[in-house]
Structures are given as structure tokens and as C-alpha cells.
Amino acid sequence: MSNKNYLQVGDKAPNFSATAVYEQEFKQVNLSDYLGKYLILLFYPLDFTFVCPTEIIAFSDIYDNFESMNTEVLGISVDSEYCHLAWMQMDRDSGGVGDLRYPLVSDLNKEISLSYNVLNQEGKALRGLFIIDPHGRIQHSLVNNLDVGRSVNEVIRILNAIKHVQNNPDEVCPANWQPGDSTIKNNVNLSKEYFKSI
């Protein structure tokens, strides 16, 4: 399956409404519910697999950091909400994910994965990650193949950089930028100050 409507950074994030599991209950979530906040969409292939629980748990364990940054997280796979619930009711030491700090969304009809261009030929979601800003625009996208997990620390770094440049539109963030590091003035002449300092 392929989608000829190629999604790019800067585009409006495709809206969706779906059933999710949160705090052991089913709830309806809509992308539009998150306007006014940053949102991380965390697509992953399947519940009850190997790399997936490590990512899902890592994002949950550091959720307080996201919350302090006005950021929410949604995990999304092509599993049913019943499968999500069973996975969350399984202990972590048995391959489950236990109680999570954010919802897991069911994309059983695969429409969300397709609209974000992460659905592979086998009908699973690739490891797609999207950072959506409070206005509903995609500011970052990353897609890994099924066998490679993502870095939570890098997501936080990128989120900090996105927030910084949105709050300081005359600045841009260089490679490996961390909060507190020098930025570059978005100006041909003023940018030289940064390059002289490195």
C-alpha cells in the first residue's frame, strides 16, 4: 500500500479520531484535542514484539520531562484496543508494558498509518515519529525500519530546539545543539559571530 500524498515537515498534521487505551480504559482520542500543545506521535509495528516495548516504556518513564515541556505522547500501532489492553496488563518482566503514562491508539483499519506514510507492505507501521506543534503542524519526522529503536534523549533534544527557534524566530540551532548552547543568528552578517566562536 502506498500513499501518493507525501507528507512533509511544515505540513498540517492529518487529523484522526480513534479508540485508545489509557489507565486501563478505552477512550476516544482526536488529533484536534491536542491543539495548543506539542504532540509526539510514536508509531510502532506491533504489540507483544521485541523492540517495541523498549521504546514504549522508555517514553513512558520519561513522561514527566515531556509534560514539563507542554508535550503529550500518543503511541500508535495497527493492533486493536483489546490487544493494547492485554499488553498493558502484562508485567514488563514478561514482555508487557505495564501501566503507561500516555495512551496507546488502535489503528486497526490502518488509516492513520497510511495518512502519515508509515504503513509498510506487510501492513505494519514502521517506527515513525512525528513532533507536531501547538498549531497542528509537523515540525519533525523520523522513520526507522522495524529492527532499529529510537532515542528518547534525541527526541527531547529536537523538541527543545524546535521550541527554541519558534520562540526566537531570528535564531537557528546548529548541529548537536542543547539548551544553553550558542545559536546562530538567522542573518548572513550576524551568523559570523557564531562561526568565529567555534
At residue 132's C-alpha, the angle toward residues 140 and 32, to 5°, is 160
Proportion of the chain in helix, strand, coil states, percent, rounded to 5: 30, 25, 45
Respond yes or no: is residue 52 known to be catalytic: yes
Candidates 7, 39, 52, 112; catalytic one: 52
59 vs 51, 92, 193, CA distance in Å? 13, 14, 37
Q: Enter the C-alpha cell of residue 114.
A: 497510511
Contacts of 61 (CB under 8 A, 6+ apart): none
Active-site residue list: 52
